Chains A and B, each alone.
Chain A
Amino acid sequence: MGTGPLLLLATLEGTVMAAVLALAAVGLSLSFGVMRVVNVAHGEFFMLGAVLAWAVAQAVPSAPLGFVAALVICPVLVGALAYAIDAGLLRRLKHDPEATIVATIGLSYILQQGALSLFGPDARPVEAPFTLRLQLPWFGYSGYKLFVVVAAALVLLAVWWVMTRSRAGLVMRATQIDRATARAFGINVDRVYAGTFALGAGLAAVAAVLIVPIQQAHYLMGHDPLLLSFIVVIIGGLGSIRGTLIAALVIGLADGILSMLYPPTLAKIFATLAVALVLVFRPQGLFGARP
């Protein structure tokens, strides 16, 4: 393959990566933006979405039907779990930022253990709903991967619409800006928090269901998405949805292209250091809307 086609392939792979990453990262960004908490268990919500997708696909005999069922059921289940966790656990901690981090670290261990005990240590494949292959002049490319990009874009559009145009979004933004005033105006802040946490977790689960026909479901698969989501959210500016989307695109593409050119470990070292330095020297992020 020549340089041009190789770059095209890398860009395609990067776009798929960026799409899934954007979903997961926007989920993390929502809970940070509205609730001011860092959810370390976010990667485990992603993992749960993937593992549950496998379980649902097992229960439904037809592959396309199983996939669709998973796409509907898993985010709802994961969202419901997240709602319960916020209401039963994080609310008791009054969403204190540091205590929440420690608690969600504990939670991530428990969720990993749960997945390991219920589904075992093996990687589980899920069949793609269709096996269309697009033949380009230089190489064939999976039609499913392009579907992932479109699906993720649609979900993100829906999130954007909810945040900017709907009443629920207005309530969430009001809570984000001033919790006390929102409460004075009769907004049930507890419910908004739990709802936001559930929405964030649900988005991670959607990302996972979409990715699971490409990667396999595994109880330790939450680590990388967590780290990458962190990177995206921090580079994008903590709590800024727009910045998160731009950062997801940049980092997804960069990751896709760089990992074809450099050893992945080296790329990860630089990415991690870069993120730490951004937080130190530019805490508002590179694409943050406001300082």
Chain B
Amino acid sequence: MAAVTLLEARGLTRSFGGLRAVDHVDFTLNSGEIHALIGPNGAGKTTFVSLLSGRLQPDAGQIRFDGADVTRLPAHARVAQGIAYTFQITSIYAGLTVADNLALAVQRHPTRDLAGETARAAARVGLGDHLGQVAGLLSYGHQRLLEIGMGLALRPRLLILDEPTQGLANKEIEGFTALIRSLLPETTVLLIEHNMDVVMALADRITVLNFGKVLASGAPAEIRANRAVQDAYLGGHHAAD
């Protein structure tokens, strides 16, 4: 089956002051894949996905989603088209209950049974017993799961996850990888991740960013074997492999 392109970026560029955080990046995301974005700190990963999600406007370049140009579309309109984004630094409604947090995502789609769907959205990320709790009082790991749960409840076609496993316990990470796999093939996943075990377990393809540019892109095995990537990022790890 030939890969269908869901999202495509051409020449995407964004500077802050004199620094080119993202520098003429070309990028293709195939429908139904799990694509990991890796690279050292400050490589421009979060800036890049912020451009895709519309939180930032590019200085130059073009973004096409499902065949349509979305470069100038504001963030909320992109979400409505099916691009969901979960924050690196947990951003939930701390003063509202878990149920209200999730309902705000669930109610983006017309539904007759809001309470039921909200409960199912909570159960999906293992928060079924916490519906009535105030979100700000949850443990950090649970807040991360709530953040992911809200992204899922939007039923996006593309889910962008910015370091989702940061701060999760090992057991929670296992649950998380299983959850992400279960989303396929309806949802395409773009994942920024530092935990290489998670990346290697999940990703169909990997793109490596360094100094705002694409260093390499390909299947996990190719990336693992890529000398430039080893030098820039994986460091001494390749010797051990």
Chains A and B in contact, CB within 8 Å: no
